[in-house]
Amino acid sequence: MPKVPSPSTTSSAATPDTGPLPASYEAGLQELEQLVAELESGQLPLDQLLGSYQRGAALLGFCRDKLQAVEDQIKVLDAGSLKPWTAE
């Protein structure tokens, strides 16, 4: 009969620490693009797939939050009067 791993031996693989967030949006986006390429390549070992996916989800959330913060700042600077650009 195969040995079933105990929860203590699988918990770190199932919920790995996603590590510190990048210092900037650009760094986060670059790391996210690299992770996506690795995931799409199909060359990652099974043990790393879940961790890479979780790191990618954390990076995606980080990048979205950064973009939202900048958008909110622009709205404040323009006093909410953003207008579509028209060529003159």
At 35, which CATH number?
1.10.287.1040
CB atoms within 10 A of CB 29: 17
Segments forming the whole domain that contains residue 42 = 23-77
Mean pLDDT calculated for residue range 15-37: 89
Q: What per-residue confidence (pLDDT) applies to 7?
A: 40
Mean pLDDT estimate for the chain: 80
Mean pLDDT calculated for residue range 14-19: 59
Let me know if residue 63 belongs to a domain. yes
Query: Are 34 and 68 within 8 A, CB to CB?
Result: no
pTM: 0.67
Let me know if residue 46 belongs to a domain. yes
Q: What contacts 41, CB < 8 A, 6 or more positions away? A: none
Structure tokens at 25: 């949006």
Q: Rounded to an integer, what distance in angstroms lies between the CA atom of residue 80 and that of residue 68?
A: 15
